[in-house]
Amino acid sequence: MTVVDRHLAGEFLRLFVLALITFLGLFLVIEFFEKLRMILRYQATLGDSLLYFTSRVPWMVSQVLPMAALLATVLSLTLLSRNGEITALRCGGVPLRRLVLPYLVCGLVLALCNGFIQEVAAPRGFAFAREVQEVRIKGRSPRSLLKTEDLWLRSGNNVVHVGRVEPEGTVLVDVTVAELDGSRVVRRTDARQARWNGERWLLVDAEIRHFDADGIPRTERLAESPCTLEERPEEFRVPVVTAVEESWAELKRRLERYRKQGLDTRDLEVGLWAKTSVPFAAFLMPLLAFPFGVRAGGRGGASAGIVLAILLGFSYWLVLAVGLSLGKAGVLPPVLAAWVGNIGFAVLGVVLLARAERHG
């Protein structure tokens, strides 16, 4: 890396940190007012509130990082242009496609960092924030944080397996109850569902096997049967975990389980591919902003360039959101739905850069 590259990268990173802190501060203010009702309702302590918001910071950083990279690109190039540095470099025979290289390298590093945040820091932060919210702030039992699939519970003399818990916690899907006498199974019940009727659990479409002392089963089938499960619905009622709250590996495992159960996995497939495309925005934003930044050095040009670049950035997120929606609706294949915005705007960035080179 040359001295010029280090200078350009240094200017970019300095303004990137300032932009990131600014965007993150605005995000925290918005998040605070969104959660203020919950804080007041449950009289959350200052410590718990700080823990909750702090644990969500990694996710917030991943959301604002691309826009911070975009703004830093425009501002750094605007300052360099006003000081005549861009003009001097171009007069020295340095083309724009060479000047953009430090910004793209920085963007690539930021994209990798954003991928790490998305895959490691953000999911852990979400999990801790959920624990703080549900247990420390709302005062629920720690059991309310149970996972919602493939559950094994010990309830009295029963061993219970639940395939899946519906979000409200009042419906359990694919339930198996093994009633024990010591270490011997005396009755096994398999049911399509267990529903809470307000007082107790009722098994729906139940097949009950009674085992005598010799282990010989006697089978009966009932449309509805009472269940001895002691846990109440609130013990199973957990917030729905969205794709953005899971790592790629966790989402992949959930997708495979849903496929085996014959469930619709289109939304999860789109979310899985989105995890590969969204971090790329941190690399794409400097490319999109660069042509505007190099032409924003004049009076009035800075504000116009910043506004155009930010509008372009929001347009990218709009196209990405539309693409993901079309993928979830089945109009586009999941991989194309997640990457159509990146592909389109990468082409647009190259075209704008070439145009700026010709007209510079």
C-alpha–C-alpha distance, residues 202 and 227, integer Å: 5
Which pLDDT band holds residue 301 (cuts at 50, 70, 90)? low
More confident residue, 99 or 232: 99
Q: Which of 236, 253, 276 is the last residue in one of the domains? A: 236
Average pLDDT (160-170) is: 80
Cα–Cα–Cα angle for 156, 157, 163, nearest 5°?
A: 80
Q: Are residues 288 and 154 part of one domain? A: no
Model's pTM, two decimal places? 0.74
Q: Is the pLDDT at 117 greater than 90, yes or no?
A: yes
Residues 61-76: pLDDT tens digits?
Answer: 999 999 999 989 988 8
Q: Are residues 308 and 256 part of one domain? A: yes
Q: Are residues 299 and 214 part of one domain? A: no
Q: Are residues 116 and 7 part of one domain? A: yes
CB 114 within 8 A of CB 62: yes
The tally of domains found in the chain comes to 2
Q: Which of 236, 251, 271 is the last residue in one of the domains? A: 236
The predicted structure's pLDDT at residue 57: 95
Q: Are residues 107 and 36 part of one domain? A: yes
Q: Indicate the average pLDDT of the chain.
A: 85
Structural domain for 247, as ranges: 3-139+243-359
Q: Which of 195, 217, 236 is the last residue in one of the domains? A: 236
Spatial CB neighbours of 243, under 8 Å, sequence gap ≥ 6: 251, 267, 268, 271, 272, 274, 275
Q: Are residues 214 and 99 part of one domain? A: no
Measure Cα distances from 345 to 27, 127, 165, 214, 331 in Å.
Answer: 25, 33, 41, 71, 20
Average pLDDT (302-307) is: 70
Q: Which has the closest alpha carbon to 109: 204, 242, 239, 9?
A: 9
Which pLDDT band holds residue 121 (cuts at 50, 70, 90)? very high
Residues 3-53: pLDDT tens digits?
Answer: 888 989 999 999 999 999 999 999 999 999 999 999 998 898 999 999 999
Q: Are residues 250 and 126 part of one domain? A: yes
Q: Which has the closest alpha carbon to 266: 323, 328, 331, 338?
A: 328
CB 360 within 8 A of CB 96: yes
C-alpha–C-alpha distance, residues 12 and 9, integer Å: 5
Q: Is the pLDDT at 282 greater than 80, yes or no?
A: yes
More confident residue, 20 or 90: 20
Average pLDDT (241-253) is: 83
Q: Are residues 133 and 39 part of one domain? A: yes
Q: Is the pLDDT at 119 greater than 80, yes or no?
A: yes
Q: Are residues 11 and 130 part of one domain? A: yes
Q: Are residues 184 and 316 part of one domain? A: no
Q: Are residues 199 and 95 part of one domain? A: no
Q: Are residues 224 and 247 part of one domain? A: no
